Structure 1
Amino acid sequence: MANGKSMTISEMLGLLLDEQAPVRVDAFDGSHFGDPNAQLKVKIASPNCMYQLLAHPNEIGVVRAYVLGDFDVEGVDYADPYPAMRGLLSLAKYVKPLTPVAAARISAGILSHGWRKPPVPATEGPSKFARIKRGLMPHTERADSETVSFHYDMSNEFYADFLGPSMTYTCAVFDNENMSLEDAQTNKIRLVLDKLGLEPGQRLLDIGCGWGSMVIAAAKRGIKALGVTLSKEQAAWANEWIAREGLSDLAEVRVQDYREVPEQDFDGICSIGMMEHVGTRNYQNYFEEMFRLLKPMGRLLNHQITISHDKPNGKPGTDAFLDRYIFPDGDLGAPGFIESCIHDAGFNVVHQENLRQHYALTLHHWNANLSQHWDDAVKQVGFERAKVWGLYMAACALNFELDGIQVHQFLAVKPDREGHPDGKWYPLRPWWKA
């Protein structure tokens, strides 16, 4: 990129980073920045990296450059780039304020070589605006069906590579940091079912049931369990699993929107890791629908990722990386807002807890599993998509650790407005083992 008077990559970095930053950057133009003995070594392998950052000076530009190999960290494990991300995060205190003059000089340095439209990874989905232009208004039934399919209908075998035998794609619950992932997932399912406190013969609806682990565990307790998902891949896997377990008389999984479930008077409803797809503007209607589906004194267990601080002006949506690559139309709410919605739908909220640290541990296990099964993961979904998922899970683990996001369980009861004429209350104190 350098040709005589042109600004080198090293000179550009000098406008952005203090020279004491503990990093070594080697660039495609032969220039270098930082201490050659620094532990963190970064490679800018192609001019496309600079064009990506110029076109999208946000996470989209960085992600595109990383996914396409134009930007890399020496020694990074693509299945688990968490250590590299921690190293890059440590540079934050060395970042200089980007003045208008510095920004103009960098832009001019790049554009002195002409404008080149940078490539877009094949794994990147359309923007929210592009989806709306196609008529996919966020969180309508049609849009939800397409976005869920984008996320889940890749390859069941790929998910098995990092989820493990439980096929449970939500936060596990650990008794201690040495607990295995499988034991922690079994513990989470046990906790949910214990909180719901259903007895044999009673009816459970699992909304967003995934590959069926909760439905199967409930059926093994003698509970009649119905799971609904918008993913055909998940439903096929779940029903085959149910049949293998000999539980078809008690358990069923359907490809069905929760708004289309014809049955009512469920004794319990669980929604585990599904609310991220609902949209905060739809929370009130969602919980009112749960209230309608439950019988009096029925219980709701809602488990979802939350944000640590309310979004300014109630603006919906996640960041651009997650929207384009992972969860189209994904949306997170703050725990106080969620509890208010549950309450305003008519429920009594009887318990809530924050499992933030547990999700960081869960994600570290998933990254480790992906690393162990990397070759098969690449075979299932391709190198770029496997690389994206390693990045996604490592970034989420870091975000949980930094308290940018949390995960909460809310337990609520639909009150009996007749005043319990039969004398049956739910227990006066927590009835489950924590």
Structure 2
Amino acid sequence: MTQLATARWPGIAHTPRTPLKARAARAILRPTAKHVPVRLTFSDGTVWGAGDASSPEMRIVRPKAFFARLGAGSKIGFGEAYMAGDWTAGPDTDLADLLRPFAERMATIVPVPLQKFRVFVDEKLPHQQRNSLTGSKKNIEAHYDLSNDLFAQFLDPSMTYSAAWFATPDQDLEAAQMHKIDGILDQAGVTAGTRLLEIGSGWGALAIRAAQRGADVTTITLSKEQAVLAEERFADAGVEVDLRLMDYREVTGQYDAIVSVEMIEAVGEEYWPTYFATIDRLLAPGGKVSIQAITMAHHRYLATRDSYGWIQKYIFPGGLIPSLEAIDHTLADHTTLAVTDQRSLGQDYARTLRQWRERFNANWATIHDQGFDETFRRMWEFYLAYCEAGFAAGYIDVFQLRMSRPSEV
């Protein structure tokens, strides 16, 4: 590792010294691999796994370091080992295609007798990542304020950073993102004159589309970087949008429609009651809500809700994916709202993520020139492929959820 990488990535530059845990990880992975249709290949010619010559290949480049990281903390160590180059996909293997068989078996990949020991190896969510008023701002800035230029290198021209909704097999990404946005606005009943609140501005694509419909749009964000570019985009589009740099808990007023795209994942379980109660408070009589939310099965949510993972450490601090049941329970206990319509875009998200990763890799030279190093590249590549595999396998999903007051329907 270079000195620059050591300073920037201390958890990657230094391999954990946990010989007993490393041996345990090796002892667990070898029989586990027999049930996964992949090939784990080692430099000495050893091959593990249930795959054949046509199966995805995972190359273990530095076995000692790989098993040390895996033993020190499997949920974080696996991704860190990829960032460090301890393992990689084979030359003829796409990274997401390699990760998908693991995602399909996520709930059972660890032998049942060993699952009871999860409590001893899972790290707890760090207190400093709580999504308080101060914490939320720090967590959002950690990801979304990386660089507008970075995101521009892999997003479509609309700068939309959420699942697209493809109307046809050959629809391009920008058109699919507009289709997604129209789906949300239609679900919330946004037309000319609608008083619309958007929680989480992104770079302004939805606000622009809503304003072009004639809606009176208010949008809020905690990201200064996003706010600056969104304001420029509003001016270029010739629309009037009230953009406010503020937390959702600080909003006042009444709105006919409220929309929020893939923002609930950043709220944190502790604050879901506050989030939905705030939406309920701000929604005018007869109003509708449309939320696009990444979800996971309820039993997986219950099993992982308190544990700290690679995504939370490196990509989305403070993040937590809910289940549909958890959303329903929170609405029932803390609001007058209920889910009255839903549609899944899970496979569309897998397709979206693959296109983002392809663009990211194709434009890596430009991204590198912006000051991002090779460890960042591997981190971002793993993040995009890891998420794609999760959606493709159905381990996670994403829904557009309409919420309204049943008494007003």
TM-score > 0.5, shorter chain as reference? yes
Deviation, structure 1 residue 159: 1.0
**How far off its partner does 1:76 sit?**
6.7
Corresponding residue of 1:70: 86
Give how far 1:312 is off.
6.6
1:26-425 alignment, distance < 5 Å: 26-27=42-43, 30=44, 32-33=46-47, 38=53, 40=57, 42-45=59-62, 47-56=64-73, 58-75=74-91, 81-86=95-100, 131-132=126-127, 136=128, 138-247=130-239, 250-262=240-252, 264-311=253-300, 316-317=305-306, 320-344=309-333, 345-380=335-370, 381-414=372-405
RMSD in angstroms over aligned alpha carbons? Answer: 3.5
Q: CA deviation at 1:229?
A: 1.0
Secondary structure at 2:153 match in 1: helix
What is the TM-score when the length of structure 1 is the normalising length? 0.75
Question: Unpaired segments of 5 or more residues in structure 1?
Answer: 1-6, 101-126, 417-424, 427-434
Query: Greater CA deviation, 137-146 or 407-416?
Result: 407-416
- How far apart, in 1, do the equivalents of 2:69 and 2:298 lie? 30
Q: Which stretch shows the higher mean deviation, 11-20 or 81-90?
A: 11-20
CA distance in 2, matches of 1:276, 1:90: 22
More helix by share: 2
Residue 20 (structure 2) aligns with: none
| TM-superposition CA deviations, 1:193-237 (whole Å, max 9, x none) | 122223323321110111111111111112121111111111111
Letter in 2 for 1:335: L
C-alpha distance 258-312 of structure 1, shift in aligned 2 (>3 A): closer
- My pick for the range that moved more, 359-368 or 179-188, is 359-368
TM-score, normalised relative to structure 2: 0.80
SS in 2 for 1:162: coil
Displacement after TM superposition at 1:252 (Å): 2.7
- In 2, the alpha carbon distance for the partners of 1:147 and 1:10 equals 34
Deviation at 1:363, TM superposition (A): 1.3
Tell me, in whole angstroms, the C-alpha distance in 2 between the residues paired with 1:314 and 1:393: 23
- 1:157-202 residue CA offsets vs partner (Å, 9 max, x unmatched): 1111221111111111111232211111010111111222233233
Contact 1:317/1:331 (<8 A) preserved: no
**Compared CA separation, residues 25 and 350, structure 1 to 2 (3 A):** closer
SS of equivalent to 2:154:
helix
Amino acid corresponding to residue 193 of structure 2 in structure 1? G
Shift of residue 137, structure 1, vs aligned partner = 5.7
SS at match of 1:222: coil
Distance 1:188 1:25, change over 3 A: same
Name the stretch that deviates more: 161-170 or 39-48: 39-48
Kindly tell me: are residues 299 and 378 of structure 1, through their superposed partners in 2, closer, same or farther at Cα, counting changes over 3 Å? Answer: same
Supply the distance in 2 between the matched residues of 1:391 and 1:316 (Cα, whole angstroms): 22
Q: Structure 2: give runs of 5+ residues left out of the alignment.
A: 1-22, 115-122
User: For 1:294 and 1:280, how far apart are their aligned partners in 2?
Assistant: 22
**Aligned-partner SS, 2:220:** strand
Percent pairwise identity: 31
Residue by residue over 1:327-357, the C-alpha shift from the partner in whole angstroms, topping out at 9 and shown as x without a partner, is: 1111122112213433441125331222222
CA contact (8 A) 2:195 2:217 kept: yes
Change in 2 beyond 3 A, CA 1:415/1:60: closer
Higher Cα radius of gyration: 1
Compared with structure 1, are the counterparts of its residues 44 and 87 closer, same or farther at alpha carbon in structure 2 (3 Å cutoff)? farther
* Cα distance between partner residues in 2 of 1:98 and 1:293: 46
Query: Quick one: which amino acid aligns to residue 232 of structure 1?
Result: K
Paired residues, what number? 371
- Give distance in 2, aligned partners of 1:217 and 1:19: 48
CA shift at 1:14, angstroms? 6.5
> Residue 203 of structure 1 contacts residue 266 of structure 1 at CA under 8 Å; is this kept in 2?
yes
